Amino acid sequence: MRDFLQQWSVLIAALLVVLSIIYTRSTIQTHIGGVNDRLSTLEKNIESIRNALEGDQGMAARIATLDLRVNEKLQNLIAQKDNDLERNAQDTFQELKNTVDTIFTMTQRIEFVEEMLLDMQASIESIRKQQNKETP
């Protein structure tokens, strides 16, 4: 019985870890997708502005200023994306650590219950043996 419970506790632990990883990966992918969409839109707008102003020499200074601003915004978005990814990775690691701690605690509880059941089984066997000795 103990072997059976130990085998299941390992499988449950593995399942919980896999579910935690899948959930965390999905959250990170959703967040990255949103940032990538924002960057794509910004790049399309820049290209559209460049195409519209191409050939207009009087606008060169404005374009250069706009290009600097857009590049600065782009760099800020990239930095924000990197910070968000790092924060998500830290959150994911903490969630995974919490899951592992929970699995460890549950495994200890299962082992405690197993020991109690084995002790109870031994006590029952002892009582039965004693009753068989008393019965002629």
1 in helix, strand or coil?
Answer: coil
Residue type, 86: E
Structure tokens at 83: 């910070």
pLDDT of residue 38: 82
Residue type, 38: R
pLDDT of residue 122: 92
Which of the four pLDDT bands, split at 50, 70 and 90, describes residue 36?
A: confident
pLDDT of residue 90: 87
- The torsion angles phi and psi of 55, rounded to 5 degrees, stand at 95, -15
Non-local (6+) Cβ contacts of 78 within 8 A are: 39
Higher pLDDT, 23 or 123: 123
Closest CA to 74 of 49, 40, 50: 40
pTM above 0.75, yes or no: no
Higher pLDDT, 50 or 6: 50
